[in-house]
Amino acid sequence: MELDLDTFRRLRRLAPVLDDVLNAREIEHADQAVYLDDLARLCSQLFDEYRRLHPEETAQAQLEALVPQ
């Protein structure tokens, strides 16, 4: 699934926030929490679109993710 330019730009804008949180191992500022909420919504939208386009593959991947490694 190819991302449209707007979605790609939004992901690029939000990626540094996730990187900051992962490096610090904590949410240090309220704006980080707000941006993480934006990132979560965007990821959910992308997942829903991908699942709509590839329902069988997505269902299989979800089942495989439930199996302990």
Band (17; pLDDT cuts 50, 70, 90): very high
Q: 22 pLDDT exceeds 90? A: yes
The rounded radius of gyration (Å) of the Cα atoms in the chain is: 15
The answer on pLDDT for 35 being more than 90 is yes
Buried-state track 1-26, b at ≥16 Cβ within 10 A, e below 16: eeeeeeeeebeeebeebeeebeeeee
Closest CA to 7 of 57, 44, 62, 55: 44
Per-residue pLDDT at 67 exceeds 90: no
Q: What are the sequence ranges of the domains in the chain?
A: 5-66
Rounded mean pLDDT of the chain? 94
pLDDT score at 68: 78
Please tell me the distance from the alpha carbon of residue 64 to that of residue 69, in angstroms, as a whole number.
9
State pTM to two decimals.
0.81
* 69, pLDDT greater than 90: no
